[in-house]
Structure 1
Amino acid sequence: MAELLKKLADLEKLSAPLEPNQDERAHYFQQVKNWSDHYIANIDKIDSFYDKLPDTSKLSIDEKQHSIEELLDIYHTEVTETGIVPSHGGHIGYIPGGGIYLSAIADYIADVSNEYAGMFYGGPGAVTIENELINWMKGVFRFPESAVGNLTSGGSIANLIALTAARDFHGVKNEKVTSSVIYLSEQVHHCTQKALRIIGLEDAIIRYIPLDEKWRMDATILEQTIKQDKAEGLYPFVVLASAGTTDTGAIDPLKAIGKIAQQHNLWYHIDGAYGGFFILTDRAKDEFEGIEMADSLCIDPHKGLFLPYGLGAVLIKNKEALFHSHHYTANYMQDALNEDWPLNPADVSPELTKHFRGLRMWLPLKVHGLAPFKACLEEKLYLTDYFREELVKRGFKVGPEPDLSVSYFWFPVTENENQNQNENENQNESESEFNERLMDEIHKDGRIFLSSTRLNGKYVIRMAILSFRTKKHTIDTCLEMIDRCLERVRN
């Protein structure tokens, strides 16, 4: 026994650093505060894109002890100054995550208290907060009170949960898979194809419905295709619409698609990960008419509410379909079972153990109220207008008027529109090459980050204005950068 007690005492001493004393905690916190204050104060003075890779040797794990000061320096140079800077207002290339300050405070509180947000029995306060956030979003998107939902890590898991519920509601399994039909557009986010593969629907029939001139799904062709598939003995069971596509920001005709889905008994899923929260704005809210018709909806607070990466959401009307996929019990959890308690997040998600991610949304909404979020979203719509108008003044061509804050542009090589088809193909190729060189120069500059895509084979440059730090001066800097880069490419 004496030897055992000595061993325990030795191990307790060796493990003691895991519980820093008050002075040590104060030192750590002060160093982190100093770093974060400096980072935020200077974020407009740094580039939004660094064309360099981190030094792996500085980030590798060893058994040495390092000071917090040293590690903050390493983090700054090897993480924040490599690749895209997502917290920068100049990140207008891919859909940016936010990073508002109070969410960081919320994550700190959640991590210090280490609340469990999977089962009501284990964390009734944390689960109640997450359920109340779901209830609030049900109201925003006009879903019924009986709908259920979950706070996920992002749109990928949200879409996965929704499509799994659709699969199970329609009993699409075994030999039924190969005759079942899924309808979507080529503009759907690629996490959808990943989700379909993961849940065993890779062998289902996937119909890509043509788009109109504004990159929206053509509802007339959708209905015609469904009728034809039914006539051929196939089993249409789900249609996916987008409330803000990643490539062009388009909102599909949600109400028209909803009516078709109801008429033909299809599960109707809407991916609003990027665009959904624009429903809060006066300018764009009417574009979302019909979103309440969805059987399931994906939205990302870490996009449209400017929160840090790692917080998506899914709303689903059919609780039974969702439970079929995710609700399981275990003997060791018998103390946690009570039919009178609220919904457990673990019952509607693949996750059992989960971070209390809801606090990063709850705290900012409670402190700031909703008005600043609405104003920031509205601002992004008008910044998109401003950017497009200034590009046209400079001789650029722009895509159709966007539904939201994603758009695209390119610089034309020639204005002659009377060429024949073959000549037009050659023109598009040379324009694509020219704009690809322009994109390379923009990335070399790095002050503002833009991205590119191909639409019908044509190379174009994308803007995705959503960061809460993106302001008019950001767009002005971007325009000045584009002017310089264009001149270099021309020369």
Structure 2
Amino acid sequence: MSMHEFDQESEELVQSVFEYALDRLRNEPPLDGPMSAEELQALVGETITPAGLGGTETLRRYVDHLAPASISADHPRYLAFVPGAPTKAASVFDLVVGSSSLCGSTWLDGAGMVFAENQALRWIADLADMPDSAGGCFVTGGTMANLSALVTARHEADRKRTSAGMERPARWAVVAAESAHASVDSSARVMDVDVILAAVDGDRRLRGDAVADAITGRPAGTEVFAVVATA
């Protein structure tokens, strides 16, 4: 198979991929489950070889061993970690997007995709009753979303202090509930900011008085730029 030419081997591989995808979309998703590294090594063997596996053999190892060792996020019993409930149309459109080889990082090279993303974001913002000025972008998951949100919040807090002629505080901090996701703490470490924990009530809710107490009790020279709220 040539890397950039569509030859007979490419044709056969594409047809095999289409058949697998069609079968997966037509039928109920398998639940499957994890296997140990030792079990997978015995079944799959080495996947990076001097001669390469070839597309057909790679697909076989995926179908026979790798996919069954991974839990299907669209299975009705998949109730943990990241839920997945894509429509059939959304799943099949991944084939379209993947084969199109597009980059949606800027308007210059991906105006069509950025336009579509902005419309989806506008719909979500309207559902949350956010102003017309609200915007954003889709990220890979909650951890990156928390990091992006906290970086944005600190930037805005710093901008406001600078505009007001105020110096930067000795330390920036974020107030978070005791039950906050671990990504809040890891994001704070990446940003070199502090996390001030606020107590939750008997129903595991973060309430305003607890946030006020956390802010009031912050160390000298520390300013809070964001509150990570939980329901």
Give the TM-score category using the shorter length: 0.7 to 0.9
Residue 189 (structure 1) aligned with residue 181 (structure 2):
yes
Partner of 1:20: 6
Letter in 1 for 2:63: H
Output the TM-score relative to the length of structure 1.
0.41
Contact 1:49 / 1:84 at 8 angstroms: preserved in 2? yes
| Deviation (angstroms), 1:67 | 4.7
- Distance change >3 Å, CA 70–CA 94, structure 1 → 2: same
Name stretches of at least 5 consecutive residues in structure 2 with no aligned partner.
162-166
Report how far residue 139 of structure 1 moved.
Answer: 0.9
TM-superposed CA distance for 1:163, in Å, is 0.8
Equivalent residue letter for 2:204: W
Relative to structure 1, the CA distance from residue 19 to residue 160 in structure 2 (aligned partners, 3 Å threshold; closer, same or farther) is same
Aligned residue pairs, count: 221
Separation in 2 of the partners of 1:122 and 1:175? 37
Report the alpha carbon displacement of residue 74 of structure 1 after superposing the two structures with TM: 0.5
TM-superposition CA deviations, 1:234-260 (whole Å, max 9, x none): 423221113xxxxxxxx2xxxxxxxxx
Q: How does 1:235-250 map to 2 (within 5 A)?
A: 235-242=223-230
Tell me which amino acid in the other structure corresponds to 2:211: L
Instruction: State the AA in 1 paired with 2:227.
Output: V
1:16–1:84 distance in 2 versus 1, CA, 3 Å: closer
Q: Deviations over 1:402-449 (max 9, x none)?
A: xxxxxxxxxxxxxxxxxxxxxxxxxxxxxxxxxxxxxxxxxxxxxxxx
Residues 131 and 223 of structure 1, relative CA distance in 2, 3 Å threshold? same
Match of 1:176 in 2: 169
Q: Give the conservation status (yes or no) of the 8 Å contact 2:174–2:226.
A: yes
CA contact (8 A) 1:52 1:83 kept: no
Unaligned runs of 5+ in 1: 1-14, 243-250, 252-491
Structure 1 match to 2:33: 49
Match of residue 226, structure 1, among 212, 215, 230: 215
> Does the alignment pair 1:155 with 2:148?
no
Shift of 1:162: 1.4
CA pair 88-52 structure 1, distance change in 2 beyond 3 A = farther
Change (3 A) 1:65 1:228: closer
Mean alpha-carbon deviation: is it higher for 134-143 or for 65-74?
65-74
Task: Tell me the SS of whatever aligns to 2:229.
Answer: strand
- Give the superposition deviation at 1:184: 0.6
Would the alpha carbon gap of residues 29 and 101 (structure 1) be closer, same or farther in structure 2, given more than 3 Å must change?
Answer: farther
What secondary structure sits across from 2:129 in the alignment? coil
Taking the aligned partners of 2:52 and 2:117, their CA distance within structure 1 comes to: 38
In structure 2, C-alpha distance between the alignment counterparts of 1:108 and 1:41, rounded to whole Å: 15
1-side partners of 2:140 and 2:170: how far apart?
28
Q: For residues 133-158 of structure 1, what are the alpha-carbon distances to aligned partners after superposition, in whole Å with 9 as ceiling and x for unaligned? A: 22111111111111221121222222
Q: Percent identity?
A: 20
Q: What TM-score does the superposition give when structure 2 sets the normalisation length?
A: 0.80
- On the 8 A contact 2:170/2:222 being kept in 1, the answer is no
User: Kindly tell me: are residues 181 and 47 of structure 1, through their superposed partners in 2, closer, same or farther at Cα, counting changes over 3 Å?
Assistant: closer
Among 74, 78, 82, the alignment partner of 2:61 is 74
- Structure 1 residues 59, 144: CA separation in 2 closer, same or farther (over 3 Å shift)? farther
Q: Deviations over 1:254-283 (max 9, x none)?
A: xxxxxxxxxxxxxxxxxxxxxxxxxxxxxx
Q: Residue 129 of structure 1 corresponds to which residue in structure 2?
A: 116
- The equivalent residue for 2:16 is 31
Mapped to 1, the partners of 2:23 and 2:36 lie a distance apart of 22
Post-superposition shift, 1:125?
Answer: 1.3
Aligned CA-pair RMSD: 2.9
Contact kept in structure 2, 1:183 and 1:207, CA below 8 Å: yes
Query: Within 2, Cα distance between the matches of 1:36 and 1:122?
Result: 29
Matched, 1:119 2:106: yes
1:18 alignment partner, SS class: coil
Q: How many angstroms apart in 2 are the aligned matches of 1:79 and 1:38?
A: 17
Contact 1:50/1:84 (8 A) holds in 2: yes
Say if 1:209 and 1:221, in contact at 8 Å, map to a contact too. Answer: yes
SS of aligned partner of 1:123: helix
The amino acid of 2:76's aligned partner reads G
Any idea what SS the aligned residue of 2:175 has? Answer: strand
Q: Tell me how far 1:42 sits from its aligned partner.
A: 5.4
Q: In the superposition, relative to structure 1, how do residues 211 and 142 fare at CA in structure 2: closer, same or farther (>3 Å)?
A: same
**Structure 1 residues 93 and 154: CA distance shift in structure 2, 3 A:** closer
Q: Describe the superposition over 1:105-127 as per-residue Cα deviations: whole angstroms up to 9, x where unpaired.
A: 22222232222212212222122
With a CA cutoff of 8 Å and minimum separation of 6, indicate the structure with the bigger relative contact order.
Answer: 1
Q: Do the aligned residues in 2 keep the contact of 1:184 with 1:239 (CA within 8 Å)?
A: yes
Alpha-carbon distance in structure 2 between the residues aligned to 1:239 and 1:36: 43
Distance 1:147 1:40, change over 3 A: closer
SS of the equivalent of 2:228 reads strand
| Mapped contact 1:115–1:123 kept (Cα < 8 A) | yes
1:210-239 alpha-carbon deviations (Å, 9 max, x no partner): 112221113222223323449x66423221
**Any idea what SS the aligned residue of 1:216 has?**
coil
1:437-481 CA distances to partner (integer Å, 9 max, x unpaired)?
xxxxxxxxxxxxxxxxxxxxxxxxxxxxxxxxxxxxxxxxxxxxx
Query: 1:79 and 1:138 mapped to 2: Cα distance?
Result: 38
